Structure 1
């Protein structure tokens, strides 16, 4: 079973995901393999995130590409707009998945088997909050270990 972390009440989803991705990627212990991250969301959000990952910090470099890029298998941070694309199943990434979309992943047992850690980012937007609650209930019913990190005061 995967550990599923909900980061709720996020005011700026894309900025938050940049900081979260940097934190996860940079906490790799010396001598260990780099932690690979897959970020799944709507294409419009991913396009903005792609640009923001290049510009949000003057001192950090977060190597990333889209899942259909020929370098995706060797790039530690991959952006995907679908859980079921051929590119998604073709990459070796299996450390952390960050979900920034509103739809429930279609095959949670398969994702839970592949990714030991799944992060759900839920904003203060009412539609996203309601969708996030539904995903939380669905994950709980499947028996996953759930944690909530309320970002209201951040």
Structure 2
């Protein structure tokens, strides 16, 4: 839900962004959610490698992250440096295992000298 709403907001503001998932199944589920998460919502998007990908402001991928200014990392792995990337958003569930993985990714980005910001999202 929150990732869809954030993608919608960023796309509406004119951002080009990528939604990065762990695998193709997660990417396809996110594709389905972006079409159906709100009755009044529309997020123009495409799956990486599809015929519509070249024209999409929101791209869903699961292989190697592609060059773009904004990336929402919905996977469980930290990302290496990506050309043109200005912002990475990470989401961490309020579960101990997810928080432990989130802390590892935080340390990865900290060691890579990224500027880090923590935001609490109300339930």
TM-score by length of 1: 0.72
Aligned residues: 122
Cα distance in structure 1, aligned partners of 2:95 and 2:30: 18
User: Unaligned 5+ residue runs, structure 1?
Assistant: 1-14, 28-33
Is residue 111 of structure 2 the alignment partner of residue 141 of structure 1? yes
* Other-structure match for 1:45: 26
Q: Contact 2:53–2:59 at 8 Å: present in 1 too? A: yes
1:95 to 69, 74, 79: 69
Give the number of the structure with larger relative contact order, counting CA–CA contacts within 8 Å between residues 6 or more apart: 1
- Aligned positions of 1:114-133 closer than 5 A: 114-133=84-103
Q: Contact 2:35–2:43 at 8 Å: present in 1 too? A: yes
Residues 82-118 of structure 1: per-residue CA shift (max 9 Å, x gap): 226xxx4xxxx6221110110122xx22x1x421111
- Between Structure 1 and Structure 2, the one with more strand by share is 1
* Other-structure match for 2:45: 64
TM-score by length of 2: 0.89
Q: Contact 2:78–2:109 at 8 Å: present in 1 too? A: no
Cα distance in structure 2, aligned partners of 1:104 and 1:70: 28
User: Unaligned 5+ residue runs, structure 2?
Assistant: none
Residues 9-66 of structure 1: per-residue CA shift (max 9 Å, x gap): xxxxxx1100111111122xxxxxx311101112332222111111111112111111
